[in-house]
Amino acid sequence: MTSPREWWRRAAAAIKDRQSLYLTRLITGSSRFRNPQLEAAVIRATSHDDRSVDYKNAARVFAWARTSPSFLLPVMWALARRAARTRSWPVALKALMLVHGILMRSDSEPVDVQVGRLPFDLSEFKDRSSSPAKASVFSAFIRVYFNFLDSRSVFAGLEFDPTDEDQLLDRVQHLQGLLDLLMQIRPYGDGMEVGLVLEAMNCVLIEIFEVYSQICKGIASFLVSVFGSDHHTKMEFYLNEFGNLSPEAKRRRGIVGVMVLRKAIEQSAQLSAYFELCRSLGVMNAAELPEVEKIPEEDVHDLEMLLLGEIEEEERREYEDSVEQELEVLDVSPETQLIEITVEQTMEEERSNVVSKEWVIFEEGCLESNFSVGAEKLWPTPPWPSLINASGGMPFVNNGNLIEI
């Protein structure tokens, strides 16, 4: 049974809707962004009633948006005026559901007619139509839903070249970010199992299917370009395109590809938990959810070995080539020839010497610039004495011993 307080709250909300409808009649004529009939349909479709949705007027709003691309912005501005003024979560949620439906229907439109950023901001929405305990959880639901729709609207205006592997991976990363935002749209407390919230969750599940399918297609296209159709051989396209990239570009593509696969594995587990939550809440579309296909761990391992392994091999070859070029330059240098002759003479002298492990006493005049003289000072025989004298660049510590390198 409805309490008197609840009855008065609903009566006041109905009066607000009638007042808004009356104000639309005061609009004289139609302009580019103002149309009395459109605004009346938006007000009826976004009423304060949290028990039902006016599907008839919602269909009128969608039909208006589908009429032509020029009608898209007037519809969005009508919804923006309605959403920006309200402090009631049912009105805000219905407006967001209408925006969501319009964005999904406008995906096929060219990029230049996309909405871009939404013309209103509900990122700091606070509900004032419910008790404080309920207002906080409903406000959180509105804010995360708006954040997703705003990001989705911006993403729809981005252009990607489907033939560019780097842009393909960037697009998949953007989609994975949208999927993270989608999975944040969930009840944040008890008492949210109401029809309007479950209806919004139905819309979210439809979007999840769409976004996740695009992610899977993008990953499959990338894996085919890397491994080939038989999963064991690489395609000619990959050999021609990836093989001609610089090591920096190869490393970037390899790292991004591995990150995308790792993120997909993580999100597949999160999706399974999200679907279980939707089933427990009684979301209609959750009853027919299929199993989430997980990317095999060996695919990620194979990609790491293939991409990063080839990058390291390419860098090793480039390093060896650079060393060979430097050696060729050194071979024709007179100074290098003199050094080589000195080193060869030094090695010949060392082969004729006998190295002793016993402690010996240096005679006077032997390395007197670096060693102390006297019978009390005992030093180990320094290795390669002729080489040290020839180079003069070996480091010494304060006591005259060589630093072991």
Per-residue pLDDT of the chain (405 residues; tens, 9 = 90+): 567 777 777 788 788 888 888 888 776 555 666 788 899 999 999 999 988 889 999 999 999 988 877 788 889 999 999 999 999 999 999 999 999 999 988 776 665 556 788 999 999 999 998 888 889 999 999 999 999 999 999 998 887 877 777 788 899 999 999 999 999 999 888 888 888 999 999 999 999 999 999 998 888 888 777 665 544 444 444 444 555 556 677 677 778 888 888 899 899 889 989 998 998 888 887 777 777 777 777 767 777 776 666 555 555 566 556 656 665 665 545 455 544 545 455 555 555 544 444 444 444 444 444 444 444 444 444 444 444 444 444 444 444 443 333
Token pair listed for 132: 């404080």
Q: What is the dihedral of CA 174, 200, 100, 53, to 10 degrees?
A: 180
pLDDT of residue 369: 47
Token pair listed for 83: 């959403």
Alpha-carbon distance of 176 to 212, in angstroms, equals 8
pLDDT of residue 200: 94
Angle (CA) 307-313-318 rounded to 5° is 125
Task: Specify the amino acid at residue 102.
Answer: I
Alpha-carbon distance of 112 to 109, in angstroms, equals 8
Say if CB 154 and CB 116 are below 8 A apart.
Answer: yes
In a domain, 202, yes or no: no
Alpha-carbon distance of 125 to 227, in angstroms, equals 48
Question: 245 Cβ partners below 8 Å, 6+ apart?
Answer: 253
Say if CB 112 and CB 159 are below 8 A apart.
Answer: no
Residue 114, SS3 per DSSP:
coil
Alpha-carbon distance of 18 to 347, in angstroms, equals 103
pLDDT of residue 26: 75
**Strand ranges in 234-321 using DSSP code E only, listed in sequence order:** none
Q: Give the domain extent around 128.
A: 1-159
Task: Specify the amino acid at residue 375.
Answer: A
pLDDT of residue 40: 92
- Helix, strand, coil content of the chain in percent (nearest 5): 65, 0, 35
Task: Specify the amino acid at residue 38.
Answer: L
Say if CB 87 and CB 126 are below 8 A apart.
Answer: yes
Alpha-carbon distance of 378 to 360, in angstroms, equals 6
The CATH number linked to 122 is: 1.25.40.90
Identify the domain boundary among 159, 185, 204.
Answer: 159
Identify the domain boundary among 100, 132, 159.
Answer: 159
In a domain, 308, yes or no: no
Please return the burial class of 387, using the count of CB atoms within 10 Å of its CB with bins 0-12, 13-18 and 19+: middle
User: Closest Cα to residue 169, out of 260, 103, 85?
Assistant: 260
Alpha-carbon distance of 108 to 373, in angstroms, equals 92
Say if CB 106 and CB 115 are below 8 A apart.
Answer: yes
In a domain, 105, yes or no: yes
Alpha-carbon distance of 199 to 185, in angstroms, equals 12
DSSP letter at 279?
Answer: H
Token pair listed for 375: 């019978």
Q: What is the dihedral of CA 202, 208, 214, 215, to 10 degrees?
A: -170
In a domain, 197, yes or no: no
In a domain, 228, yes or no: no
Q: Quote the number of domains for the chain.
A: 2
In a domain, 404, yes or no: no
pLDDT of residue 184: 95
Identify the domain boundary among 107, 129, 159.
Answer: 159
User: Closest Cα to residue 37, out of 78, 87, 89?
Assistant: 78
User: Closest Cα to residue 378, out of 357, 366, 397, 361?
Assistant: 361
Residue 366, SS3 per DSSP:
coil
pLDDT of residue 33: 64
In a domain, 295, yes or no: no
In a domain, 397, yes or no: no
